[in-house]
A and B are shown apart, each in its own frame.
Chain A
Amino acid sequence: NAGVTQTPKFRVLKTGQSMTLLCAQDMNHEYMYWYRQDPGMGLRLIHYSVGEGTTAKGEVPDGYNVSRLKKQNFLLGLESAAPSQTSVYFCASSYQNQPQHFGDGTRLSIL
């Protein structure tokens, strides 16, 4: 039972490049989330999904897009990476009203 798996674990991008972060969960959770964690800032919600085919904006959605084509997968895209998007990105999943389960993060550096 893998739980929540994030791919890749590390990535370095140049400004302006695009990339997609993949999150996969095997717990049949309806809800999935993308957060970013910056030093001294805690976690901030980027986008979330309450079910297959649905997405919604969180606290800091600008510069990111998401898709939830399959229930078990939640993709986070950066269309044109900027240095301000250097961060650690965490994916989480949950049932409604239940605690969230987190992946181990993707460490992204944008030069």
Chain B
Amino acid sequence: SQQGEEDPQALSIQEGENATMNCSYKTSINNLQWYRQNSGRGLVHLILIRSNEREKHSGRLRVTLDTSKKSSSLLITASRAADTASYFCATGGVGSNYKLTFGKGTLLTVNP
């Protein structure tokens, strides 16, 4: 069963704008991760946030986690055409945090 659900399913923006993607999940987690997938390629890890953390930054990426609402958001600032990809959230469960459950993804298109 899908644990994470991303919202929106698709997002189209102009270069330079910010992109925000949301992820909701159902059960308690040990950590939540975001991955990027370019067309025809494998997933690439972006950022990991643990259940006791509320916010993390990595370059142009900012991730927040609200465990009370069972939700997370990924913000990409000053987007570039190269950011065009699908973005997935994945949750690591309590007791088996290495087994990830992926959401269905958000397809981000950044127009030049």
Contact = CB atoms under 8 A, between A and B. Distances in A.
Interface string A26-60: 00000100010000111111001010000000110
A41 B35 CA distance: 15
Contacts of A45: 99-101
Interface string B2-46: 101000000000000000000000000001010100001111110
A100 interface: yes
Contacts of B68: none
A42 B48 contact: no
Contacts of B44: 102
B98 A42 contact: no
A85 interface: no
A101 B48 CA distance: 13
Interface residues of A, number: 25
A74 interface: no
Interface string B41-61: 111110010000000000000
Nearest to B1: A59
Q: How large is the interface on B (under 10, 10 to 19, 20 to 34, 35 or more residues)?
A: 20 to 34
A44 B101 CA distance: 7
A42 B102 CA distance: 6
A102 B42 contact: yes
Contact of A43 (B1, B40, B41, B102): B102
Contacts of B101: 45, 59
Interface stretch (A14-22, A75-83, A91-99): A91-99
Interface in B73-112: 88, 90, 97-105
A48 B88 CA distance: 20
B87 to A, nearest CB: 11
A99 B44 CA distance: 9
Contacts of B2: 41-42
Nearest to A95: B98
Contacts of A41: 2, 104
Contacts of B33: 99
A29 to B, nearest CB: 10
Interface of B: 1-2, 4, 31, 33, 35, 40-45, 48, 88, 90, 97-105
